[in-house]
Structure 1
């Protein structure tokens, strides 16, 4: 038997003041998208903004449905739109912000498992990492240089 240790390195920014200007802009677009989310059941609004290598910025937000499995998260809404409209473009950076209508959200909120898998698919497809920045409504912002930091031992096409 052998024990294997897996570690991730993330960068934590205390505030927007510490972020690069392009990330502030991307996070602002994610915040604007969050405010347009359709979340009447969970009251949990999520916004995403993606910067493509062609300069396009794509936004998305969560879209709920009374038939819960039929809804879609902000990250996948944005990624799938980018893939449909700009299939040759690479995703360079992604900014995410999430907040509850019931209480203020100050802790950084990472992508859910399903969204991590979708982001992983695009990292494999484009053969390049995606920088991911995530936060609550306010407070600290966390940066991951790749989805692999958030989903070690990911499942991809090499297993098929």
Structure 2
């Protein structure tokens, strides 16, 4: 038997004011995108923004549906839009802001598993990491320098 040890390294900022200016501006775009979420079932709104190497910022918000599996998370809305609109651009950074309409979220809320897998697909495709910043409505902001910190055992085309 062999034991495997997995370590994850994240940076934690005490609030938006501690972020580098480019990350602050990107998070502001995610916060704005969150206001466009359609979340009548979960009452949980999420906004995401992606900075591309060409300077463009692509945003997305979660879009729910009465047939729950038909909805889409903000992260995947943004990442698929970026991939469709700018297929040759690299994704440098992603910012995510999430919050509930029923209680205040003050801790960083990371992408769900399906979104982590979608982010990993693009990180692998472009052969460079995507920096990810995530937060609740207020409070601390977490930073991961790569999706590998959030999804250490990535499923990719090499196993197909």
The answer to whether residue 107 in structure 2 is matched with residue 94 in structure 1 is no
1:56-135 → structure 2 map (5 Å cutoff)? 56-135=56-135
Where does residue 136 of structure 1 map in the other structure?
A: 136
Aligned residue for 2:78, secondary structure, equals helix
Question: How far apart are the structure 2 equivalents of 1:127 and 1:25?
Answer: 25
Question: How far apart are the structure 1 equivalents of 2:28 and 2:18?
Answer: 14
Question: How far apart are the structure 1 equivalents of 2:4 and 2:37?
Answer: 41
What is the Cα deviation at residue 101 of structure 1?
0.3
What is the Cα deviation at residue 102 of structure 1?
0.5
What is the Cα deviation at residue 16 of structure 1?
1.4
What are the superposed Cα offsets for residues 2-37 of structure 1, whole Å, 9 maximum, x if unpaired?
Answer: 111000100000011211011110000000000110
Question: How far apart are the structure 1 equivalents of 2:15 and 2:112?
Answer: 23
Q: What is the RMSD of the two structures over their aligned residues, measured on CA atoms?
A: 0.4
Could you list the runs of 5+ residues in structure 2 that have no partner in the other structure? none
Give the aligned length: 160
Where does residue 149 of structure 2 map in the other structure?
A: 149
1:29-68 → structure 2 map (5 Å cutoff)? 29-68=29-68
Where does residue 16 of structure 1 map in the other structure?
A: 16
Could you list the runs of 5+ residues in structure 1 that have no partner in the other structure? none
Question: How far apart are the structure 1 equivalents of 2:26 and 2:127?
Answer: 22
Question: How far apart are the structure 1 equivalents of 2:15 and 2:137?
Answer: 12
TM-score, with length taken from structure 1: 0.99
